[in-house]
Chains A and B, each alone.
Chain A
Amino acid sequence: MIRLDNVTKIYKGETRAVDGVTLNIEKGEFVFLVGESGSGKSTMLRLLTAEEAATGGQVHVAGKDLARISSWRVPYLRRNIGSVFQDFKLLPQKTVYENVAFALEVIGRPRNIITTQVPAILELVGLSNKQKSFPDELSGGEQQRVSIARAFVNRPLILLADEPTGNLDPNTAQEIMRLLDRINRTGTTVVMATHDQTIVDQMRRRVVALHAGQVVRDEQQGVYA
């Protein structure tokens, strides 16, 4: 599903954010990317969504070589990838329902699909009763669940999460992890960058540790450190 071959990303000719990373992630895997700030976790995620282009090496996502994909195909690649962020990136002037529907609307999905898919996904994340609420009326955990709903409503093959529990208290973080786990069980490949030791240790999934842009550890059923 995701394959990195000796991938390097150099910013402005000096900073080596990612340095010779080779990594293979199979369909349906759940992978934690761990490492301190600046170790290259976010850059790796951005390479996968083609927001950044690799300076060297090859990045394959969902069967596509990203170095060879033309820029007009990039949006279609992203339809296969759901993204979740620490700061949720919800649109404040839209309701919960509209935020999720927006993701389908802007990729041209027909209305009848939207009106069936959006309530279904909100049901899945447990927010059926908050459809008409605005983001600032929700708790952090609820906002993150909306953002996960938005990322998953199009049933992507891959879900990328960049510190999704970073802004949440431990109990709420657990909730979010249960949700991501559930999504993973549908066959979706999940890659999650995190600092959260408790969560990583508790989940016992594959752990890829980065340091200064290099993979220093790659364990199945690993722990944070």
Chain B
Amino acid sequence: MAGFLGRAGYFTRETWLNVRRNLTLTVAAILTVAVGVMLVGLGLMARYASSNALGRWQGGVQFEIFMEPDIAGGQIDALGEELRIHPDIERIQYVTQDQAFALLEEMLVDEPELLAEISVESLPSSYRVVPRIAEGEIIESLAAQFRQRPGVYSVETGRQQVDAIREWFNSFRWIVLLMSIVLAAASALLIFNMIRVAMFARRREIEVMKLVGATNSFIRLPFILEGMLHGLAGGLVGAVAAGALRNHVEELFGRSEILAFFRSFTVTSGQFTTATIATVLMGVIVGALGSAFAAGRFLDV
């Protein structure tokens, strides 16, 4: 145990010494990692957001009929029966007020004050309708048939918008993915170079270590830890930036009526956590790869 603590002390000291020695390079590497992994995080969140939004329309071939909150039970059943026997309709799903509330709860998990304002009774129950033929015009005409029924509050299709948005999100994801790959490569190379410089600066120590029989992994570990530390720092900065950007964008969607459509493009807090962890992890991996490669490359037995 004492030996282990002694070693931990050695590694911490050596790693910190390296970081301090090339501070400017360190900052450059951390920032590059940060921007790179921030894009990874954003890309991931965009992916979640679009699939969340699309999920509501089942791939854009569904529309939803919202009832008035105070509609009588008989009216709901009558409407359901009519939808069920309709020749152009494949199947329907009834969403109760409780289920609607549960969905909303999931989406507003970060805004409990807002959720507190909403009661189950104030939410509309709805029918999710999947037509037999998934074409925009047919869906629109079907929707129009039900829009004027008593007890119906509104009918939302949004197929075209969803398609357009999905396309937009897809290309956004690709661009983000490409940029993050380029930046990840750049950060790995930067870290690779930093470790090379650090190893060169300490070549005499490395020579002595080899001489007295220090194992390669022992010699390499402080350098790899240093690289991982850069990656971790960059990952954390990137994750915070991505989180801030996400909050800003969601606030924008929430405030603006023009962007109201985007409100369904939100990520749950679980997905946000996943994206954050992935972002930080990505940073650490980039750092570990760059430094491990350098340490392996510049250390012959």
B212 near A108 with CB under 8 A, answer: no
For window 65-87 of A, CB contacts with B under 8 Å fall at 71-72, 74-79, 81, 83
Chain B positions 188 through 220: 1 when the CB is less than 8 Å from some CB of chain A, otherwise 0:
000000000000000011011111111110110
A154 — which chain B residues lie within 8 A by C-beta?
212-213
Distance (whole angstroms) from the CB of A189 to the closest CB of chain B: 17
Say which residue of A72, A89, A103, A151 sits within 8 Å of B216 (CB atoms): A72
How many of A's residues come within 8 Å of B, CB to CB? Answer: 27
Count of chain B residues with a beta carbon within 8 Å of a chain A beta carbon: 20
Q: Kindly report which residue of chain B lies nearest to residue A105, judged by CB atoms.
A: B10
Residue numbers in A under 8 Å from B3 (CB-CB): 108-111
A106-B214, A110-B3 known; A71 vs B301 contact (CB < 8 Å) = yes
Least CB distance from A79 to B in Å reads: 4
Find chain B residues with CB under 8 A from A116 CB.
none
The 0/1 profile, CB within 8 Å of A marked 1, for residues 132-166 of chain B is: 00000000000000000000000000000000000
Q: In this assembly, does A91 line the interface, its C-beta being within 8 Å of a C-beta of chain B? A: yes
Contact digits for B38-52, partner A, Cβ 8 Å, 1 yes 0 no? 000000000000000
The answer for the CA separation of A108 and B219 in the assembled complex, in Å, is 11
Q: Which of A71, A74, A150 contacts B212 (CB 8 A)?
A: A150
Beta-carbon nearest neighbor of B202 in chain A:
A91
Q: Do residues B208 and A102 form an inter-chain contact, with CB atoms below 8 A? A: yes
| Interface residue? B2 (CB, 8 A) | yes
Contact B6 A107 (CB under 8 A): no
> Which residues between 220 and 275 of chain B lie within 8 Å of chain A, taking CB atoms?
none
From residue B298, how far is it (CB to closest CB) to chain A in Å? Answer: 16
Chain B residues within 8 Å of A24, by CB: none
Q: Which A residues from 88 to 147 make CB contacts under 8 A with B?
A: 89, 91, 102-103, 105-112
A75 touching B204, Cβ below 8 Å: no
Contacts of B210 in A (CB 8 A): 75, 78
CA gap between A112 and B219 in the complex, in Å: 22
The 23 listed contacts between A and B (C-beta, < 8 Å) are A75-B216, A77-B213, A78-B212, A81-B213, A89-B207, A89-B208, A91-B205, A103-B208, A106-B209, A106-B212, A106-B218, A106-B219, A107-B212, A107-B213, A107-B215, A108-B6, A108-B7, A108-B218, A109-B3, A111-B2, A111-B6, A150-B208, A150-B212
Determine whether the beta carbon of A78 is less than 8 Å from that of B213. yes
Q: For the complex formed, measure the closest distance between the CB of A143 and the CB atoms of chain B, giving whole angstroms.
A: 14
Residue positions of B touching A, CB distance < 8 A? 2-3, 6-7, 10, 204-205, 207-216, 218-219, 301
Known: A49-B211, A78-B212, A108-B7. 13 other contacts (CB 8 A): A50-B301, A75-B213, A78-B213, A79-B213, A81-B213, A91-B204, A91-B205, A102-B209, A105-B10, A107-B214, A107-B215, A108-B6, A111-B2
Q: How far is the CA of A187 from the CA of B6 in the complex (A)?
A: 31
Min Cβ gap A46→B in Å is: 11
Residue numbers in A under 8 Å from B207 (CB-CB): 89
Give Cα A109–Cα B216 distance, bound, in whole angstroms.
16
Of listed A75, A76, A83, A111, residue having the most chain B CB within 10 A: A75
Question: Judging by beta carbons under 8 Å apart, are B213 and A76 in contact?
Answer: yes
Contact of A112 among B2, B208, B209 (CB under 8 A): B2
| Assembly CA distance A79 to B209 (angstroms) | 11
> Quick one: closest B residue to A73, CB to CB?
B215
Chain B: minimal CB distance from A120 (Å):
17
User: B219 — which chain A residues lie within 8 A by C-beta?
Assistant: 106
Known: A91-B204, A108-B218, A111-B2. A83 touches B211 (CB 8 A): yes
Closest 10 CB pairs of A and B: A78-B213, A79-B213, A106-B214, A110-B3, A103-B212, A75-B213, A75-B215, A111-B6, A106-B209, A110-B2
The chain A residue with its CB closest to the CB of B215 is: A75
Asked if A91 contacts B208 (CB within 8 A), the reply is yes
- 0/1 interface trace, chain A 25-50, chain B, CB 8 Å (1 if under): 00000000000000000000000011
